[in-house]
Amino acid sequence: MHLLPLGDADPQLSDRELEDLYAYPSDLDRPWVQVNFVSSADGAATAAGRSDGLSSPADKKIFALGRDLSDVVLVGAGTAIVEGYRGVKRTELRTERRARLGLAEVPPIAVVTGRCSISPDLPLVADTRVPPIVLTTEAAPADRRADLAAAGADVVIVGEEAVDLRRALDALAERGLRRVCCEGGPHLFSGLISAGLVDQLCLTVAPLLAGAGAFRIAEGLPSAAALDMTLASVLTEDGYLMLRYRVRA
């Protein structure tokens, strides 16, 4: 057992060192899914209904890094709506990083929505540099699909009643989008776990007790079996833990 050094004398990681630590595997020939979450110490995924109350500057840095290094940001409709998603913005660091790594200027956002419940008026569709990708079903009302397509979204049918998440990832890979940064939420995450589609979890643990009543980071139908993970790195700042777990091959 090891006691983590927590002193101020420990070296701070530079942006480049963080980037190396969180880099996606090179030469991917399949979709590779990283999932980002922040949780309170007692396991809540929200405080007052949103994740922001749990976050910190260090967590936000890791969250932004996930976007910077990815080909596509994957999110469930619940999170996109509650958190007021809009297209990924350019920042000086993001622009420099992505140009150096040979990535597109900004990653598109891909939304999983079985019922196609995303309105074309949402900033996710209306305020973005790149069109969002809407991963939906045959059962979704045809007029909603048509309205989103008319607003510029890339609407992709990947399931009959529910989104088949493996097909969804394949559809992203067909568009050259293999480095997937999933930002939740809990129902999408449990679907990915059940389908065995998670490669890495970046989990920030906030030094906070949120109490009962909030979602956990995975919600929905129980999974058949637990996935074994290895702890790949541990960072700390201001009492927050930034954990990175890899699913065992």
Ligand X SMILES: NC(=O)c1ccc[n+]([C@@H]2O[C@H](COP(=O)([O-])OP(=O)(O)OC[C@H]3O[C@@H](n4cnc5c(N)ncnc54)[C@H](OP(=O)(O)O)[C@@H]3O)[C@@H](O)[C@H]2O)c1
242 is a site residue for ligand X (CB under 6 A): no
Would you say 25 or 123 has its CB closer to ligand X?
123
Taking the complex as a whole, the smallest distance from the CB of residue 204 to ligand X amounts, in Å, to: 8
Taking the complex as a whole, the smallest distance from the CB of residue 183 to ligand X amounts, in Å, to: 6
Using CB under 6 A as the binding rule, the residues of this chain from 59 to 98 that contact ligand X are 75-79, 82-83
**Closest Cα to residue 113, out of 133, 131, 136?**
136
Site size toward ligand X, by CB under 6 A = 32
185 is a site residue for ligand X (CB under 6 A): yes
The residue whose two tokens read 């909603």 is 144
56 is a site residue for ligand X (CB under 6 A): no
Q: Is 222 left (phi over 0), alpha (psi -120 to 50) or beta?
A: beta
**Closest Cα to residue 134, out of 151, 107, 116, 160?**
116
Using CB under 6 A as the binding rule, the residues of this chain from 215 to 234 that contact ligand X are 215, 219
Taking the complex as a whole, the smallest distance from the CB of residue 14 to ligand X amounts, in Å, to: 25
Using CB under 6 A as the binding rule, the residues of this chain from 103 to 122 that contact ligand X are 112-115, 117
Integer Cα distance of 112 and 197 in angstroms:
15
Token readout for 198 is 């998670």
User: What are residue 57's phi and psi, to 5 degrees?
Assistant: -55, -40
Integer Cα distance of 209 and 211 in angstroms:
6
Window 147-166: contact mask with ligand X (x via CB under 6 A): ---------------xx-x-
Q: Are 197 and 33 in contact (CB under 8 A)?
A: yes
Would you say 104 or 219 has its CB closer to ligand X?
219
